[in-house]
Structure formats: structure tokens, C-alpha cells
Amino acid sequence: MAEKPDVVVVVGDVNSTMGCALVTSKISFDSSGSRPMIAHVEAGLRSFDRAMPEEIHRIVTDHVSDLLFVTEESGIQNLHKEGISLDCVHLVGNTMIDSLLAFKDRAEESAICEKLGLRSGPMKNGKPIRPYALLTLHRPSNVDNRDGFLSILAGLEELAKDFPIIFPVHPRTRQRIKDFGLDLPAGPDAAKSRGDAEAPGNTGAGVMLTDPLGYLDFLCLMKHAAIVVTDSGGIQEETTCLGIPCVTVRENTERPVTVECGTNIVAGTKKEKVQEAIRRQLRRKRGAAMPKNWDGRAAARIVDILLQSCAARSASHQPLVPHNCV
């Protein structure tokens, strides 16, 4: 028979995060109701927009979890307002930033800039990278609505005249582009690279569509971008760590620390707002203050707390009930 786990760790805000947390909360190992502790990594984030599926996942997961590991101060405040004991809450930092800092230098080995025609030779030969923008779009609220999608694209037209916009396309987004028959602003060479991340020689402005990229290739592109436009939560955090100007095409963010640090502007999706946010971000200097504990040691802090909590629970011999922090 498999050994009973002392703790189940769930991460983020996707369907499986909430599903795993709910199942674990209903497990009973014995008549006393003993069950594993539930630890939620990236707890406490709130957009306050319940039309987002992720927001429901965050709330439900946090309220059945026993240990809540938050990435920024706003998470502590949100959980406290929802009545969760702060004894259960730990500001540990950001595990995504752990990964970024661990691989940031290795990302320079990527040849993605050469493949996309952004650099004329290997970095070791001192070849400069021409200025470019990086774009990601995947949220249903942005790409499933034709008018909304068109509004965002219209907001990018001004940027596309001055910079090539590298657009690794999520499969859902690519399908919507096809369904809606959308024409993205393309420079003279952009069409040859659509759907092909390997195509060299694209030196014109416009939008260059590529297939989804691996982590190191994407990190390399993010590091060297003049600006990033996105609807991703994680990319808001990564650009803050890298000090890269970011424009978020959403009406809200669950990561307000990225705005407080100055690297991120939440622009909404209207053409004029997107254009103005891009202009502002292109004028700002690179760099930002790093949020507390975004130092590459979040995972180590989590492991330490888990070990302490498991040892304390074992010593107490008490069954676990929700938010019975040990």
C-alpha cells in the first residue's frame, strides 16, 4: 500500500490546482479525519474579477489550503481580508523568479535572435541586437472576441511601424486569427516567417508570428526586448525582475507589485489606451526595484516551512482541520 503523504503542494491557479486541492481536502485517512496538509504556492493573488476562471480557482484553493505561500505583500492583505489566519500565510517570494534567475545567463546561449533575423551573427562576435517588441496574447477574454482582439491589434499598429513585433502564438490564438480572418500589421519580410520560428532574415517592421517557443528561447527574447506587450500574469512578473518595460492588455492585474515597481502598466484593451501605455513605456528607463524576497530562494523557504510544519504536526498527533496551522 502506498505511503500516506504528509502534505500535498499545489501551484498557481489552473483547473488542476483547484481540483487537486479540493480532492485533498476531502481525503480522510482514518476515523479521526486525518488528511494531508494542503500547501498553495502563489496564494493570495487577486484580480477581483470573477469573470476570470483563474480568480475562482485562486479563491477556492486558498480557502481549503492549510499553508499559503504568497509572492507579494498584496497576497497577505487579500487573505487577511478574507478571514484567513495570518499564521498560515508566508511571504516566501516567487518560484517563477527562482527559475528565471537560475537560467537567465544560460538563455544567452539561445540562437533565437539569429534565427529571427534580429542579430546578424553570434553574440560572441559582438553583433548587436536590433530593437524589437515582444507580444503574447492567449486569454479567452482577449482573443475569443473579434472586436476586442481587433482593438488590441489596432493599438499595436503604431508600435509595429517602428519595431518588429515578435509574436509567439498560442494555439488558441492562432486558431482565432484564422477563424476571424485577421490581418496583422506586417512589414515587407514578415509574411515569410509566419508560423516558422526558424525563418531568418526578417528585418522589416510589422508583426512576426512564430510557433510557441521553449523557455530559454523565450527568456532570451524577453531579456533583450525594448518592450513587452502581454496578457500573461507570469510575464508581468518576469519583466519586473528583468527591468523590461511591460504593457498589460487587460483591465486588471492580480500582480499589483509589478505596477508599483514601475515596470508594468495595465492598459486595458482599447486602442487609444494601449497606444498611450506603449508610448509611456518606451520613454521609461529600464530597471526597477525588486519586490521583497524575489531573490531566487523562494523554493528553499517553502521547503524549510514544509519541513517545520510536518515535524510540528507529527509531534502534536492532532488531526488536521482546515487552517489549523501548525
Show which residues are catalytic.
Answer: 138
Tell me phi and psi for residue 213, to 5 degrees. -110, 155
3-state secondary structure the chain: CCCCCCEEEEECCCHHHHHHHHHHHHCCCCCCCCCCEEEEEEECCCCCCCCCHHHHHHHHHHHHCCEEEECCHHHHHHHHHCCCCHHHEEECCCHHHHHHHHHCCHHHHCCHHHHCCCECCCHHHCCCECCCEEECCCCHHHHCCHHHHHHHHHHHHHHHHHCEEEEECCHHHHHHHHHHCCCCCECCCHHHHCCCCCCCCCCCCEEEEECCCCHHHHHHHHHHCCEEEECCHHHHHHHHHHCCCEEECCCCCCCCHHHHCCCEEECCCCHHHHHHHHHHHHHCCCCCCCCCCCCCCHHHHHHHHHHHHHHHHHHHCCCCCCCCCC
Nearest Cα to Cα of residue 190 among 155, 220, 165 = 165
According to DSSP, the residues that pair with 10 across neighbouring strands are 40
Tell me the C-alpha distance between 83 and 90, whole Å: 15
**Single-letter residue type at 252:** N
Nearest Cα to Cα of residue 75 among 86, 66, 54 = 86
Tell me the C-alpha distance between 21 and 1, whole Å: 22
